[in-house]
Structure 1
Amino acid sequence: MKLRVVSALLLAPAVLVVTWFGGWAFAAGAALCSAILLQEWTVIVGATRLRATVALAALGTGAMLLAAALGLVPLAVGLAFAVAALLWVWGQVSGIAAIGWMGTGVLYAGLTGVVLIAFRLGTDGVIMILFLFAVVWSTDIAAYFAGRRIGGPKLWVRVSPKKTWSGALGGLAAALVVGALTAALVGRAPAALWIVSAGILSVFSQAGDLLESALKRHFGVKDSGHLIPGHGGVMDRVDGLTGAGVLGYLVAAAVAGSLADPVGAVIALQGY
């Protein structure tokens, strides 16, 4: 626990400073995050010796992140699915499962960086990114302590034996509080919209956590890496952010009917 706290205290300020400055500094940070995620994914699925596959995944991820940084978000998302589809087909034809898994890894790692960049570039970018961070972090912290203190029925034993329904509901409750506080501080939209959005993002965050747990259990891996003392790998720390960010962005895009600045489009549609 001490290592986890110290690591968080060192990393959080750096993340917040880069978020504040935005621009290419934030894009570079998001790209670094995606690169590490892809590397950890490669190790987990056992694809480290598939050099051509790893090179294609890395080049494709780099191209989509560059497109996102240039404001070409629809192109970035299109590239993500195109590269993933190519790797999936390659895996099927070759009969090498790890190649297909790398296709999923491109979506996981690449879209994480793409949506973070897209949120930051979009309408009220700083507010939206900080709101996303606050929801994910509060969900994670509250779920941990509520689960340990209250205990009770397990959420999904086969995937994550330690997670409980009390933890999940505690995390959701904390996110709703963040939504209410954001509404009070920012305004711009009705409080109900902030609170509902926070609740949805909290659920998506916990889904991202469970997805990573399922992946590690499938491949018999305990931690995604050992880069962050007390936390494991980067994937172990941003799994909730990936779930909330990617799914949240895609839902906003579906509501707005556009991948380009869906938050701004939703705000415009609602007349706020």
Structure 2
Amino acid sequence: MTIHLNVPGADDLTRAVDVLREWQSDTDPVQLHPGDIGWFWRWGTTATAAAVRTWTRDGHVLAVGLLDGADLLRLSTAPDVRRDESLARRMVADVTTPERGVLPGGEVMVEAPPGALVSELLGEAGWGDDEPWAPLVRDLAGPVEDPGVRVEVAGPDRAGERTAVHRAAFGGPSFTDDRWHAMAAGPLYADARCLVAYDEAGTAVGATTVWSAGAGRPGLIEPLGVHPDHRGHGYGRAVTLAGVAALRELGSSSAVVITESARTPAVATYVSAGFDRLPDRLDRRRAG
């Protein structure tokens, strides 16, 4: 049967998100998550729809991709087709042919789940390894430690504090209050929480957003940051624990996060908050 590449319209995004929810599993952690699309929603519904790609066969969604920027495609597949050769070869053809509207020419990257045949075929086609990423997972069966600082859920009244911490932590101006409201207006935010941590003086020092994929499935921390003026005081661990507790309240079975392996302090923070580090992941990169 023929495999089709699709750019879902705004009304079809729900289908892609629904299959991503179904694919989340504690036995197959840290893949493209509904929360990744939820976080992208800060750019608005139209932009989010334009950034999603699906591959279908006989009406069934087999793979979902998110163009997380112009040069990075983040992929996940249904678990039972991860080694499907016809799907993998079609996906490789699509991502390596700019005219098909997935990735442009030049230097680009593809993130795929471990063991996915599409990654191996890209390697055979001359794509190299990109910088390593560290996936981390924490089981949520047991209680979560108290963060030790005041942490509040950031609704519309605290959006400014949430976005200000993010801009300071990541050094970029793009996450404005308007972007927060666009994200919060998206359908995926119903299963998410924004959290802000405060020091004893009441200053916002750290923040995160966490995303549930439904009860009994892994939840995602994306993103998490501490204001640079307040690092080194344990606030990263505190806001991580608050995020983990929020995911547990939302019914998540585990909490997952992925960060650059080179960000040693970030990895250490997650480990200190009870996360287990999994083997590093390597994206595929085609040189320009």
* More helix, by proportion: 1
The alignment's TM-score, normalised by the length of structure 1, stands at: 0.29
Higher relative contact order (CA 8 A, sep 6+): 2
TM-score, structure 2 length as denominator?
0.28
Which has a greater percent of strand?
2
